[in-house]
């Protein structure tokens, strides 16, 4: 079975383990190219563009680590 070319916001948020709002912010600031389709203007993200975005984030993180310029992640809330 062939993977779908386009992903919706939920699928991208699942892939990145972030909220749909965070994905929307990434789209709006232009870091992740996407298109809006149909009369409702729903967002669709090409799988290859998502993979390219992830590779850019890896490269940026690698450079930040080399410079010693990394931020601690905020602690995650417990589901308990």
Indicate the DSSP class of residue 76: P
Total number of domains in the chain: 1
Q: What is the pLDDT of residues 46-60, one digit of tens each?
A: 999 999 999 999 999
Q: Specify whether the backbone of 38 is left (phi greater than 0), alpha (psi in -120 to 50) or beta.
A: left
* 23 located within any domain: yes
Per the structure, the complete domain to which residue 58 belongs is given by: 6-65
Dihedrals φ, ψ of 44, to 5°? -135, 135
Tokens of 16: 């990145």
| CATH number where 10 lies | 1.10.1660
What is the pLDDT, as a whole number, of residue 69?
A: 85
Look up the pTM and report it.
Answer: 0.80
The separation between CA 15 and the C-alpha centre of its own chain, rounded to angstroms, equals 8
The tens digit of pLDDT for each residue in 3-53 reads: 889 999 999 999 999 999 999 999 999 999 999 999 999 999 999 999 999
């Amino acid at each position: 079975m062939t993977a779908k070319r386009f992903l919706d916001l939920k699928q991208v948020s699942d892939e990145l383990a972030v909220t749909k709002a965070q994905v929307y912010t990434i789209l709006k600031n232009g870091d992740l190219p996407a298109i809006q389709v149909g009369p409702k203007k729903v967002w669709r993200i090409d799988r290859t563009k998502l993979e390219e975005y992830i590779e850019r984030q890896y490269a940026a993180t690698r450079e930040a680590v080399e410079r010693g310029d990394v931020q601690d992640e905020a602690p995650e809330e417990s589901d308990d």
